Structure 1
Amino acid sequence: MWVVKIGGSLSHDPTLRMWLTELAEVGGGRVVIVPGGGDFADKVRQYQAEWRFNDLAAHNMCLLAMTQYALLMQGLRPELVLASSEAKIRRALRDGRVAVWVPTPLMRDTPDAMSNWDTTSDSLAAWLSTMLNAERLMVVKSCPIDPDEPLESFAANGVVDRRFVDYVRDANYLVELINKDDIELMRDRLLNPTAAWAADRAGGMV
């Protein structure tokens, strides 16, 4: 099973439809998509700055922002299956479908380690990958990605959130950051998983 996190920065980018189309065509039964927050989450930041409500409320609102992005994705590709629980994700995969994670079960009544701005959809994708015992987490970004750059540098530069490295440090799955234009690379990895695994291990990928 692969978890593919599609950043919110693609929410106004034509490549979003291309990613969803490719994943729907070659990822059936194997892929779970995690939506970012996009400008839905940006609105939460704006409202919090205006009204000064706490991070717990902002966390719950951002989960709804991710849910809106998930709905947008399914609106573009109706064959994608919205799934809010592990059972629903696994059922979709057993049916040969691609699941899109709806993270609303992570809404909280009291603060915890997740309910702050240091933990965004990147870290939630890592959390889900661990829970599902995934083989690979692929994080799709709109900015240039140097495959030789360490994850710590990406976190320091704001490409991924500050907690992401902690979430994947002891991961049993491969972690890959990939640029939005590298759709063919994703397709090749999905169609040739054994070759991809060997190449990643040889290259020292996390």
Structure 2
Amino acid sequence: MAESRKNGIRPLVIKVGGSLAGTGRLGEMLAMLSAAQIPIVIVPGGGPFADAVRSLQREINFNDAVAHRLAMLAMEQMAEWIASQCSGVKVARSLDEISDSIMDGHIPVWAPLRMIGDDESVSADWSVTSDSLAVRLAELLDARLILLKSVDVADGLSAEELAQQGVVDGFFPEIVARAGVSWSIFGPAADEAMAAILAGEGAD
């Protein structure tokens, strides 16, 4: 844990759902994140790159363990795209790179494969998406997690209920219970609250 808390950094981990790309909100959300006044780490969803992995798995028939790694590469492709769109956002592939990026005044966007490609605490199948991987990063950083989603969800729903509704992936309830990570889901109706957090109001 010492590496993840180097120089006292305890960033807020923010997972940006790939589905935002299809709703027209992705650019708006990235602009909001780029203006953050607190240390944050962006975890990208796989978006259309992950959809391509699903299609290719059907077409050329590889197993779920391979698909899991390719889906993490899809997240890395989204990370590269996000960094290309946002000034001051840098791709980070390790806890050190995350800390160094923040210390340099940048916002790291996480490329996960090097860090957790062989992490046995995470199932290597489609029950795991960027939702659960974001929890794993928050666990490693001892950080709070916010999932930005394209839909609003009712207050007070458990992780199990959210998984049953398809809002989060199937592994999410297990990993948040194990990791003890503090997490929230913000949909379109929570943009004002999200902006306040990024301005340093209420983030701890």
What's the TM-score once normalised by structure 2's chain length? 0.86
Q: Give 1:89's aligned residue.
A: 98
Residue 51 and residue 123 in structure 1: after superposition, are their counterparts in 2 closer, same or farther (change >3 A)?
same
1:183 is displaced (CA, Å) by 2.2
Work out the percentage of aligned pairs sharing the same amino acid. 35
Is 1:152 matched up with 2:160?
yes
Q: Which residue of 1 is the match for residue 42 of structure 2?
A: 33
Deviations 1:120-145 (A, max 9, x none): 110000000000111x1000111221
User: What amino acid is aligned across from residue 96 of structure 1 in structure 2?
Assistant: G
Q: Does the CA-based 8 Å contact 2:152-2:189 persist in structure 1? A: no
Structure 1 match to 2:51: 42
Instruction: Name the CA distance, whole Å, in 1 between partners of 2:121 and 2:194.
Output: 34
- Aligned partner of 1:174 in structure 2 is 182
Structure 2 distance, partners of 1:169, 1:130, is 11
What residue is the counterpart of 1:114 in the other structure?
A: 123
State how many pairs are aligned.
193
Instruction: Give distance in 1, aligned partners of 2:157 and 2:121.
Output: 31
RMSD: 2.0
Instruction: Say whether 1:6 aligns with 2:25.
Output: no
Question: Does the aligned pair in 1 maintain the 2:89–2:108 contact within 8 Å?
Answer: yes
1:79 deviation in Å? Answer: 1.5
- Aligned position for 2:4: none
**Per-residue deviation, residues 9-29 of structure 1 (Å, max 9, x unmatched):** 01233321121111111245x
User: Which consecutive residues of structure 1, in runs of 5 or more, have no partner in the other structure?
Assistant: 198-206
Given residue 168 of structure 1, which amino acid in structure 2 is its aligned partner? V
Which stretch shifts more, 115-124 or 17-26? 17-26
SS at match of 2:22: coil
What letter corresponds to residue 14 of structure 2 in structure 1?
Answer: V
1:56 touches 1:115 (CA, 8 Å); kept in 2? yes
Contact conserved, 2:149 with 2:188, CA < 8 A, in 1?
A: yes
Unaligned runs of 5+ in 2: 1-10
Is the contact between residue 135 and residue 181 of structure 2 (CA under 8 Å) also seen in structure 1?
A: no
Equivalent residue of 1:4, what SS?
Answer: strand
Greater CA deviation, 139-148 or 112-121? 112-121
Corresponding residue of 1:63: 72
Give, in whole Å, the separation in 1 of the partners of 2:148 and 2:121.
Answer: 27
Structure 1 letter corresponding to 2:193: L
TM-score, length-scaled by structure 1:
0.85
Task: Report the Cα distance in structure 2 between the residues aligned to 1:168 and 1:32, rounded to whole angstroms.
Answer: 18
Structure-2 separation of matches of 1:153 and 1:98: 32
Q: Output one character per residue of 1:52-84: Cα deviation in whole Å (capped at 9) or x when no partner.
A: 211121111101110111112112113201101
| 1:18 paired to 2:17 | no
Pick which of 114-123 and 179-188 moved more. 179-188
Q: Counterpart in 2 of 1:165?
A: 173
Q: Which amino acid aligns with 1:25?
A: A
State the distance in 2 between where 1:114 and 1:26 align: 32
Q: CA deviation at 1:104?
A: 2.1
